[in-house]
A and B are shown apart, each in its own frame.
Chain A
Amino acid sequence: MIDWYTANSVVIQATMTTLLLALSIQLPLRMGVFSFAGVGCFGIGGYTAAIAFTKFGMGTWTAVAFGTVLAGVLCYLLGLLVHKLTGLYLGMATIAFALIVSVVATNGGSLTGGASGLFGALGGITNLHVFLLLAVVIIGLAISEAGRFGRKIDTVREDPELAVALGINVTRYRKLTFLASGLIGGLAGAVTTLLRSTITPAEVNFHLVVVALTVIIIGGSSSWLGAFIGAVFITWLPTVLSFVAEWEPIIYGFVVALAAIFLPGGILGLVKDLRHRRGARRGSTPPPEEGAAAPPDDEPHAPEPSRTPVPSQGGAL
């Protein structure tokens, strides 16, 4: 066990930081908010922590806290600006935000180290620390997925108009999701940077959005558990199958496209669906549904339910 851990500690670390980044994007998606601002916040958190650590001599955890909070605040402000946008427009605006962070970092002179980035920001973070931080984030997210809170969030995503009719303050949920996403993204950036000791503007790019999305789409977007599955999948697959490492981008491209087409709920959605189906078969024999079989009556207005026969995927996309 110990041997296994020491042999794999780098991969374990990568899994955890990738997961943090993915969670920062997954939370807004769970609310139906197409925000990729978490990636920009990753940059903000990373740079802030690195600057605080190397230029201002702050301790590791003060620097991490600075990066996290600043990213959260900026993301919240961004949310106030853009929360009315929907769909792809919001997605692109937040991608633009992430890329602007990168351009600003490139042009930040000696403060940000320009195009070559910042070096020597090796903080005193261990895998255990990352694990504990991750646990805190996951507990918070698990609470947001359970019970009333989880139902409300699902409604905000699936049908905002219905959510409003049930008394849910959809706008507030949307705005707060920016704050939470910024905090998680900032934390991910700060921790990753102080672990690796460097950050460059080139890291905060479209590719990072793709990585985060890949994790979520493979694992499943409806729960942190999905992101966990996805993070494990993409960090461990290349170590297990060496041919994967060689063809990594192509394989991931295929996997992501296939998941988008066939598995919108990701691996987690698939498992949940199978479980539900098995449960339903084992469960009570449904009582006779009186009237259910009655033909729709002669009402000219009765709209026939035009429900598309979509296999339910248990996912949240």
Chain B
Amino acid sequence: MQELLNTLTLGSIYLLFALGMALAWSTIGILNFAHGAIFVFSAFSAHFISDFVPLSMPAIILISVLVGATLSALTQWLAFEPILKRSKNHRSAELRILIGGIGVAAIPIALVDWATASAPFGFANSSYSTQVYEIMGLRITNTSLIVIIAGVGIAVGLTLWLRRSRQGLGLRAIGVDSETASLMGVNRTVMAIGTMAIAGGLAGLAGALQVFQLQAMGVETGDQLLIKAFAMIVLGGLGSMAGVILGAFVLAGAESLIFAANMGTWVDAVSFGLIFLVLLVRPQGIFGRQEVRRT
């Protein structure tokens, strides 16, 4: 049971991170390789500010979310939009966005690396303190609770918003066919930047919560999480938010099992292996539909 709870916490952080990535990828078609760097940099910004002024938890989270959203929107505006405008075909755009993302990612990561001298950072100066509750023999921290509630709540909310609301429909229309969408009066550029801001905000949220949960974060966390998130998204099936939720918890569960079996050094192989397995056996993922591409 305790294991399950830990899995749930881990999965919720994965989920928050992957949701943003999945949202941008499945709607505006951007797989942002700087998502991991944004995650790290947002949390670091909060850490940096909280070193000067003691901040409460909500303030730290707010800073992290805002930094993430800004960074992500800027990336879209300054890098990805120009690339899309200058690409002659989809394949070329895809590769250039991947490379552009990698280039952009290097900048904040290098800054953090330089500022922390590669040491993990935390929110030592925050007014927040961890408390442990015991409920029916289960030990749960207040952080875990917050993480799980935020993760599951936002995931469900986002899923519903995409399905029900007008903006959500517009966004999904872009994902399906951007030409039709623009006929429907959806302003692609504004939508794209907005979507990326949401995605980045989610990365910032995940970053702050991760630091609260684990007390510290290393610079390299971002890249690892990026690949894990990819595994979650392909497992669930691109385009399906429910799939991301499933993917996050399956991955977290599998990793917990590996740890429980005392095979911690293999833990990264789970996500890499999962990517492989899914792409080979069921490339459209569990909930994904087969892609029909017109020539």
CB within 8 Å of B: which residues of A?
Answer: 29, 32, 34, 81-82, 85, 87-89, 91-93, 95-97, 99-100, 103-104, 106-107, 115, 161, 206, 210, 213-214, 217, 247, 249-250, 252-262, 264, 308, 310-311, 317
Interface residue B218 (Cβ < 8 Å from any Cβ of A):
no
Q: Which of B4-12, B188-196, B198-206, B276-284 contacts A (4 or more CB under 8 A)?
A: B276-284
What 1/0 mask marks residues of chain B from 196 to 233 whose CB sits below 8 Å from any chain A CB? 00000000000000000000000000010001001100
Given contacts A92-B275, A96-B275, A310-B88, whether A115 and B265 have CB atoms under 8 Å apart is: yes
Contact at A260–B83, with CB atoms within 8 Å?
A: yes
Which residue of B has the minimal Cβ distance to A206?
Answer: B223
Tell me the smallest distance from the CB of B114 to a CB of chain A, in Å: 8
Stretch at the interface among B56-64, B105-113, B166-174: B105-113
Q: Report the minimal beta-carbon distance from B77 to chain A, rounded to whole angstroms.
A: 12
Task: Name B267's closest neighbour in chain A (CB-CB).
Answer: A103
B95-112 contacts to A, CB under 8 A, are: 95-100, 102-107, 109-111
Q: What 9 new A-B contacts, CB under 8 Å, besides A32-B91, A310-B86, A311-B86?
A: A88-B31, A88-B98, A95-B227, A97-B272, A249-B107, A253-B106, A261-B96, A262-B82, A264-B86
Q: Which of A29, A249, A310 contacts B110 (CB 8 A)?
A: A249
Inter-chain CA distance A222–B271, complex, in Å, is 33
Asked if residues A317 and B92 are in contact (CB atoms below 8 Å), the reply is: yes
Closest 6 CB pairs of A and B: A253-B106, A256-B103, A257-B103, A249-B110, A260-B100, A96-B272
Which A residues lie within 8 Å of B92 (CB)? 264, 317
The answer to whether A257 and B279 touch across the interface, beta carbons within 8 angstroms, is no
Asked if B31 and A260 sit within 8 Å, CB to CB, the answer is no
A237, B245: Cα distance in complex, Å? 45
Inter-chain contacts of B107 with A (CB < 8 A):
249-250, 253-254, 257
- Contact of B99 (CB < 8 Å), options: A85, A96, A213, A310: A213
A93 touches B279 (CB 8 A): yes
CB-defined contacts of B154 to chain A, threshold 8 Å? none
Contact A252 B106 (CB under 8 A): yes
Q: Which residue from B96, B110, B265, B273 sits with its C-beta under 8 Å from A260?
A: B96
Chain A residues closer than 8 Å to B86, beta-carbon distance: 261-262, 264, 310-311
Query: Which one, A93, A262, A310, A317, contacts B276 given CB within 8 A?
Result: A93
Which A residues touch B273, using CB under 8 A?
A: 96, 100
The answer to whether A29 touches B95, judged by C-beta atoms less than 8 angstroms apart, is yes
A100 to B105, CA, bound (A): 23
Contact B111 A254 (CB under 8 A): no
Residues of A within 8 A of B110 (CB): 247, 249-250, 253
Complex Cα gap A104–B162 (Å): 40
Residues of A within 8 Å of B231, CB to CB, are 96
Contact between chains at A99 and B227 (CB < 8 Å): yes
Residue contact B82 to A103, C-beta cutoff 8 Å: no
| C-alpha spacing A95/B79, complex, angstroms | 23
Cα-based distance from A49 to B107 in the complex (angstroms) = 35
Contact A96/B276 with A88-B31, A115-B265, A264-B86 known, Cβ cut-off 8 Å: yes
Q: A96-B227, A99-B227, A206-B223 are in contact. Are A213 and B266 (CB under 8 A)?
A: no
**Chain A residues with CB below 8 A from B96, complex form:** 260-261, 264, 317
Query: Which B residues are CB-close (under 8 A) to A262?
Result: 82, 86
CB distance from A39 to the nearest CB of B (A): 13
Q: In the complex, what's the smallest C-beta–C-beta distance from B295 to chain A, in angstroms? A: 7
Residues from chain A with Cβ under 8 Å of B51 in the complex: none
Residues of B within 8 A of A100 (CB): 269, 272-273, 276
Contact B103 A253 (CB under 8 A): yes
The distance from the CB of A107 to the nearest CB of chain B, in whole angstroms, is: 5
Q: Determine the distance from Cα of A252 to Cα of B206 in the docked complex, in whole angstroms.
A: 27
Determine the chain B residues whose CB is within 8 A of the CB of A29 once the complex forms. Answer: 95
Q: Are B99 and A308 in contact (CB under 8 A)?
A: no
Tell me which residues across on chain B come within 8 A of A256, comparing CB atoms: 99-100, 102-103, 106
Contact A260 B79 (CB under 8 A): yes
Q: Which of B94, B100, B111 contacts A257 (CB 8 A)?
A: B100
User: Roughly how many angstroms separate A80 CA and B213 CA in the complex, as a whole number?
Assistant: 42
Q: 1/0 per position for B98-138, CB-CB distance to A under 8 A?
A: 11101111110111010000000000000000000000000
* 17 A-B residue pairings within 8 Å (CB atoms): A85-B279, A93-B279, A95-B227, A96-B231, A100-B269, A100-B276, A214-B103, A249-B113, A253-B105, A253-B109, A253-B110, A257-B79, A257-B100, A260-B97, A261-B82, A264-B87, A308-B88
- A85, A217, A250, A311: the one within 8 Å of B106 (CB): A250
CB proximity of A145 to chain B, nearest CB, Å? 19
Given contacts A250-B111, A253-B106, A89 and B279 within 8 Å (CB-CB): yes
A260 and B103 contacting across the interface, CB-CB below 8 Å: yes
In the bound complex, residues from chain A placing their C-beta under 8 Å from that of B227 are 92, 95-96, 99, 206
Residue of B nearest to A253 (CB): B106
In whole angstroms, how far apart are the Cα atoms of A206 and B224 in the complex?
A: 9
User: Residues of B contacting A115 with CB < 8 Å?
Assistant: 265
Interface status of B155 (Cβ within 8 A of chain A): no
**CB-CB < 8 A to B3: which residues of A?**
none
